[in-house]
A and B are shown apart, each in its own frame.
Chain A
Amino acid sequence: MLKKILLGLLAGSALLFGSVGAASAADEAPDALIKRISNEVLDVAKNDKDIQAGNKQKVLDLVEAKVLPYIDFQRMTELAAGRNWRSATPDQQQELVKQFRTLLVYTYSGALSQVKDQRLEFKPFRADPQDTEVEVRSQVVTARVGDAIQLNYRLSKTAQGWKIYDINVLGAWLIETYKGNFADQIAKTGMDGLIKFLSDKNAKLAISYSKTNKS
C-alpha cells in the first residue's frame, strides 16, 4: 500500500515537473537533471581507459563539459563569502568567483577520478511543484555495503533552468564548510589575500593535474 502511494507520489511529481514545458532543457526537473548528469559523468569516468589510468586532465574536461553548465558559482561564492561579499568591490567579487570556481572544479574532478566501481542511488525526491529551491538526495554505494556516502544537492530555479548552488558530502554542506575557511582567511589577509591564496592554490593544482596528462 505504502509502496503504491510512494510510487504514485514519485510519478505524480515527475509528471508535474515534467509537464511544464517538457521539451525544453531549461525546464528539466531538478532530480531528473541531477540523475542525468550524474549518470553521464559516472559512466564516462568508469569506462574511459585514460581516466581510469589516472589522466586527471580528462576528468577536468569531462566536468567542464557535463557538469559546470548546471552550477551557479556566483551564488555559491556569494554564500561562502557571507558578510564579506557586500564589502568587496565588483572586481574582487568577480575574481573570487573565478578562483573559487576553479578550486571547486579541481576538487570535484579529484573526487571523480577516484571512482572505480561505485554506484549511485537516488533517494525519493520530495518537493512541491512550486518550490524554487529543492534538495536532491543521493548516495554513493561502494563495495563496502553499509558505508554509503551521502551526496546531496541544493538547486534553485533560475531563468536558465535549475542550477546547483550547494553540495553535501557525508553530511556536510560545502558552502557552510567553506564559510569558516573564507572568513578566517579574510580576517587574516583581507579579501585580496583570500583571492591570492586561492589563486596560488589553484596554480599548484594546475601543475599537479597537467603532470597526469599522459595522452
Chain B
Amino acid sequence: MLQRDGRTDRRTAPFAWLALAAAAAAGALAPPPARAGDRPAGKPAAPAASAGDANFLDPLLRQAWQDAGLKPAQPARDDEFLRRAYLDILGRTPTVAEARAFLEGRAPDKRARLVEVLLDHVDFPKNFATEWTNLLIGRGRQERNVDRDALTAWLRKQFAAGRPWNEVVYDLVTASGSNKENGAVNYTIAHLEAEAVPLTSRTTRLFLGQQLQCVQCHDHPQNDWKQADFWGVNAFFRGLKVEEKRAVGADGLEKFDHVELSDAPTDAFARFDRRNGMMGVAFPRFIDGRKVEQPDRAVRRVELAKLITDPQSDLLPRAMVNRTWAHFLGRGFVNPVDDIGPHNEAALPEVFDKLTEEFRESGLDVKQLIRWITSSAAYQASSVRPGKQRPEDDLFSVMALRPMTPEQLFDSLLTATAAHRPGSGRDDAKRESWMRQFLFAFGNDEGDEATTFQGTIPQSLMMMNGDLMRDALSGKPGSFLADALDQAARQRRSPAAFMVDQLYLAALSRMPSNAERSASVRYLENNPDALPYLQDLFWALLNSNEFILIH
C-alpha cells in the first residue's frame, strides 16, 4: 500500500503477511469464485400493510409485566435481533454479507422487513420442515419403510406455500397411497407398531397439545383423562393396510421400492387391559366424547382429521401457538408444550388466549403467527437482564438464552465457515450422518429418543477437536477463512482490522468491540503467524457460549 508521497507505510507489513497467509492457505492467489450465499438474502420486500404488527399483544404483555412488578429488558440491539431472527426462522446464523446488509440498513422498519425477507427465503420452509420432521417421526428413524426425505420434502412444500395449519394437519392425519409419492404418509407408517399406540400419543400431543399416553394403562391421576379416552382415539387407527411394493431397480433386480398405505372399512375395536385385570374395549371416540356414526362404513382417519381440525374447537390452534411461541421464546406459555389443560397453569394466559384467537381468525396462517410473535415486545427484548432482578418467572420480559439445536449448530457452522464448500457437500444427508453420532434411541414402544448433544462433554469435544471444526479452520481454498484472507489482502485500510471484523461477523453476527478488535489487530501486526492466529481466534469464537447460545 502506497502513501501519497510514494513511500510504503507501516501497513504494508500486514498486507504482506495476509497475502502470504492467503497464498499459503489457498495454494494460489487466484480470487475465489463468487458465492451466492454471500449476498444478502433477496431484496427486502415491504411488509404487507402492518400485517405483522403485534400491537394487540404488546399492551397485554406490558400490563402483565407491570402487574407482576417486572422491569422488562431493554429492546434488543440490532445484532441481537438479527442473529435470533435468522436462527429461529432460517435455522442458521446470517452470512457476513447478510449481517452487514442488515446492520448497515437505516430503515426504521428494517426488523419487520427482515422478517418478511426471511419468511420468503428458501431456508425458512427448510428449517420448519426439519423441525416438524423431527417432531413427527423423531430424529433417528431409519427403517426402510419410512421415507424421511419424502416427509421432509412434503413439509417443505407446505411451509413454502404458506398452507393453513389445519389443512397441513388434515393431510398428515389422512394421508394414504405411496409413501414415496405422498411424503405425508410417512408420519402414519412410522408409528403403527404396538397397535398404533405411538401414533395415538403423537397425534394427540402434536396436534392437540394433549398428553394421553399416560392413560394408555391407567386413568390419569392429575386430570380427567380416562384409559378409554386413549383407546377411543386409538380405535380411529384400525383398518389401516400397509403393503410393501417392490420394483425393478437400475441393476435389473427386483427389490423393495415403497409402502402403500390405505384405509379398509372395518368394524374392529381397540382392546386394552384395565388395571383391575379386566379387558376393556373401545370404538372410535374423540377426546371430547364425540363418536363416529357407523364406524364400520366410515374412513376412520378422515373422521378423526375432521374432529382434530374442527373449526369450532381451539385445541389445534392453541397447540400450534404454544409450540411456535416456544420455538421463538425458548419455552411455551404452557410447559411441557404438549400438555395443555386446566391442570397445567399457563404463563400470560391473556396473551396465550389472544394469540390463539387471532391465529384462528387468520385461518391458521403460520407465517402470520410468526410475524406477530417476532414483532412482539417479548421477542424484541434483549437477553441482557435489567439490574439484578431474578424473578421466579420473568414472564418473557427478558429473552431467554437457549442452546442451538444440533441442526441449527451444524447449519450455522457451515454458514460461518463455508466448511462444506471444499468438496464436502452441504446437504441434509451429511447433516443427518453427523447428527447420528449424538442420537440415542431408547428402543421402546413409545419410540422415545434423546440427543446427547446439548451442552455435554461429547459436544464440547466435537466442537473443539472434531472433523467439522478441523475442516472449518483448514483455510482450504473456497473456505470462509481463505476467502476472507483474500479479501483482506485487497483492503485499502488495515487488513488486520478487516479480517478481525469478518471473523466476528461470521461467528457472532456482530462487530468486535474496540477492545476486542485492537487486541487482535495488535497481535496480527506484530507477529508472523497470522494464519494460525486467525484460526485460533475463529476457533475461540465458534467454541464460545456466545456462538452456541441463541440470545
Chain B binds chain A: no
- Chain A residues within CB distance 8 Å of chain B: none
